[in-house]
Amino acid sequence: MMEQENLKQEDIQKNSLVPQEKGELLSQTEIVTRSVVKNLIREAIEGMDYAYAPYSNVHVGAALLSTKKKIYQGCNIENAAFGSTNCAERTALFKAVSEGEKEFAAIAIVGGKQGIITDFFPPCGVCRQVLREFVDPKNFLVVLARSEEDYAIYSLESLLPLSFGPENM
């Protein structure tokens, strides 16, 4: 079991865009620094508090960073008709778009049963595709976190290869 856990951790670090090292990290858009990543994680953790999850008891929080350096928080909102459930990532995105934002640099996502973060919580396929509508998948960063100190960063392109976007229309 311990060996499997170590392999999983090595795989996360190997596939993450940014190894966790001290110092500043700049994304290709030069907006996202390590301090910004930590702030996004804090905001996502706070977003978990607002989750409405009476059916799964899984609370998810997201914090979406616009290229104008504004953060939009989101949480998952479940519904008895499960198809009507909305993920935290889409809640943050829809909130931002409804306020006029359409360009984004990064998103941090956290989640866990009963609101307790135990592992990384990657976005579902629908959220990946919805985010793809508004971002350059090569430059948009997806931060998966267990805490402010324990996170992995991926490009959306690595999470959604060969994606379909507005330029394909």
- CATH number, domain at 101? 3.40.140.10
Would you say residue 37 lies in a domain?
Answer: yes
Residue 20 confidence (pLDDT) above 60: no
Would you say residue 21 lies in a domain?
Answer: no
By CB atoms closer than 10 A (0-12, 13-18, 19+), residue 30 is: exposed
**Mean pLDDT in residue range 103-107:** 97
Would you say residue 125 lies in a domain?
Answer: yes
pLDDT for position 16? 52
Would you say residue 13 lies in a domain?
Answer: no
Would you say residue 131 lies in a domain?
Answer: yes
Would you say residue 162 lies in a domain?
Answer: no
Residue 9 vs residue 21, higher pLDDT = 9
**Mean pLDDT in residue range 9-18:** 50
Grade residue 25 by pLDDT with cuts at 50, 70 and 90: very low
Q: What are the CA-CA distances from residue 35 to residues 16, 26, 42, 70 (Å)?
A: 18, 10, 11, 14
Would you say residue 16 lies in a domain?
Answer: no
pLDDT for position 24? 44
Look up the domain containing 63 and give its range.
Answer: 27-157
Residue 14 confidence (pLDDT) above 80: no
- Number of domains observed in the structure of the chain: 1
Would you say residue 132 lies in a domain?
Answer: yes
pLDDT for position 63? 98
User: Are the beta carbons of 147 and 160 closer than 8 angstroms?
Assistant: no
Residue 28 confidence (pLDDT) above 80: no
> What residues are labeled active site?
89
Residue 143 vs residue 34, higher pLDDT = 143
